[in-house]
Amino acid sequence: QVQLVESGGGLVQPGGSLRLSCAASGSIVSVNTMQWYRQAPGKEREFIATVTPGGITIYADSVKGRFTISRDNAKNTMYLQMNKLRLEDTAVYYCSLPTTSTRYWGQGIQVTVSS
């Protein structure tokens, strides 16, 4: 079974930056697409970004140009570099790995953007 653990969250001022990491375990991680989602209070969980095993990326319009998703397959780790953070970016951020049988989720990590 795959395990996903997020780290790197916290409190940051508007316009600031944070880098999230998602450490994954499991033999299939390096050959699977990995994704970041987030869920703000009172809102649905929303897609943020995707990175394929080969490094191809897709972003939601809300974060395009500000966030960068990447991965290090040798370390089974995915990253989300968040720049120019806004108040609306405040949410719990989740690492996710979809497979043919199930979607794996991390426990989530809080990112709070506040002055």
What are the tens digits of pLDDT across the range 95-105?
Answer: 999 998 899 99
Q: List, as one string, the DSSP characters of 17-49.
A: -EEEEEEEESTTGGGS-EEEEEE-TTS--EEEE
Q: What share of the chain is helix, strand, coil (3-state, %, to 5)?
A: 10, 50, 40
DSSP helix/strand/coil, 96: strand
Cβ contact 64:58 at 8 Å: no
Q: Which two tokens mark 47?
A: 């897609």
The per-residue pLDDT for 16 is 98
Phi, psi of 75 (to 5 degrees): -100, 0
Residue with the two structure tokens 């649905």:
44
The per-residue pLDDT for 30 is 77
What are the tens digits of pLDDT across the range 36-94?
Answer: 999 999 999 999 999 998 889 999 999 999 999 999 988 889 999 999 999 999 999 99
